[in-house]
């Protein structure tokens, strides 16, 4: 674990064609700002205000980062989301051309209720390398760590995948913890997991945090299963590129209209998408800062004259993962964030 007090250097020079390694630390400033903005709303019961504050802060700081980005996974279409909408250009306009995926608060309800595992999240990859879900908002997912990455298959029965994970990790199946979003649609899945002998760990929200916990060692989570957001799956794939492990997904359209949109876009709804399908580039970045405490990171904390943050920074090209503890002086940070 490192504590970063250094002045962060420019990430990209004009004319660079691919994201530079220093970009990862530049992006930390962005998720830190969003998390701090949302942190003021933790436990206040107002998820929209928490999200709005995080969006404003993220967009403000993102404009200072030296990249030529297009939001491919954002807060929605332009009419629904005035800022950080799908298709919006972000960054300074100079440097590498990249796809940008943003989730200013992954877990707005968690933030509003003061529950664990809310994150501010940002992912970047080379332009044109993030999967286009064509308005299919949900997918069936399976995530696990490096040990079982080449063994599991979403098409297999739940029990068989759990046995494969247990064998790969050298555990009894009764020792496995499986993260599942707490939704009515998952009742049959939960029954299968428990019938196989494994344990469930319910998530109220926080699909990205759950996926990363399933792929990262030492979190106490061995797998994630179930139906969650397609955008969150693509964001998580950027992290899993650095972590190892695997995410597999199969599009899960809701209703005839969404199904037809997927078919018109040329999607094979029976196809299992793997990590490299969701993000084809091997030069991508994932950054997250904790808003509330969780399995992955500590949340925003307040001291007398400081705000404390904890972030995780990943780069797939080098496989580097850093945990960054930040200390921000209240009066300086607020002035800086407003002017950025």
Query: Which positions make up the binding site?
Result: 51, 75, 103, 106-108, 138, 183-185, 205-207, 229, 232
Cα separation, 138 vs 68, whole angstroms: 28
Q: Which of 121, 156, 127, 147 is nearest to 229 (CA)?
A: 121
Read off φ and ψ for residue 273, nearest 5 degrees: -90, 130
Annotated binding site for Mn(2+): 51, 75, 103, 106, 232
Order of all β-strands in the sheet with 199-203: 199-203, 177-181, 223-229, 138-144, 246-251
Spatial CB neighbours of 312, under 8 Å, sequence gap ≥ 6? 212, 286, 287, 288, 296, 297, 321, 322, 323, 324
Locate tokens 């693509």: which residue?
234
How many of the other CB atoms lie within 10 Å of CB of 316? Answer: 23
* Number of alpha carbons in the 13 Å side-chain half-sphere of residue 244: 10
User: What is the Cα 232 distance to its own chain's centre?
Assistant: 6
Annotated binding site for substrate: 106-108, 138, 183-185, 205-207, 229
Are the C-beta atoms of 75 and 83 separated by less than 8 Å? yes
Cα separation, 90 vs 99, whole angstroms: 10
């Amino acid at each position: 674990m490192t504590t970063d007090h250094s002045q962060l250097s420019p990430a990209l020079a004009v004319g660079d064609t691919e994201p530079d390694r220093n970009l990862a630390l530049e992006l930390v400033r962005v998720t830190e700002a969003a998390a701090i903005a949302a942190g003021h709303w933790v436990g206040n019961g107002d998820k929209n205000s928490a999200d709005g504050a995080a969006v404003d802060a993220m967009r403000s700081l993102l404009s200072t980062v030296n990249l030529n980005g297009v939001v491919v996974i954002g807060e929605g279409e332009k009419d629904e989301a005035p800022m950080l909408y799908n298709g919006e250009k972000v960054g300074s306009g100079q440097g590498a051309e990249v796809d940008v995926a943003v989730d200013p608060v992954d877990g707005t309800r968690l933030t509003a209720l003061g529950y664990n595992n809310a994150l501010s999240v940002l992912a970047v990859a080379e332009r044109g390398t993030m999967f286009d879900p064509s308005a299919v908002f949900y997918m069936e997912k399976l995530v696990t760590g490096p040990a079982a990455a080449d063994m599991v298959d979403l098409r297999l029965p739940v029990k068989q995948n759990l046995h494969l994970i247990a064998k790969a990790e050298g555990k009894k199946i009764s020792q496995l913890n499986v993260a599942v979003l707490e939704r009515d649609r998952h009742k049959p899945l939960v029954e299968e997991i428990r019938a196989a002998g494994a344990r469930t760990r319910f998530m109220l929200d926080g699909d990205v945090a759950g996926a990363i916990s399933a792929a990262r060692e030492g979190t106490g989570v061995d797998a994630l299963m179930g139906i969650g957001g397609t955008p969150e799956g693509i964001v998580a794939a950027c992290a899993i590129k650095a972590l190892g492990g695997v995410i597999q997904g199969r599009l899960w359209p809701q209703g005839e209209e969404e199904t037809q949109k997927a078919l018109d876009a040329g999607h094979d709804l029976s196809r299992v998408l793997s990590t490299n399908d969701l993000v084809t580039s091997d030069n991508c970045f994932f950054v997250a800062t904790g808003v509330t405490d969780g399995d992955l990171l500590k949340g925003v904390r307040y001291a007398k004259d400081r705000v404390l943050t904890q972030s995780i920074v990943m780069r797939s090209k080098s496989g580097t993962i850093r945990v960054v503890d930040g200390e921000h002086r209240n009066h300086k940070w607020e002035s800086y964030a407003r002017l950025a």
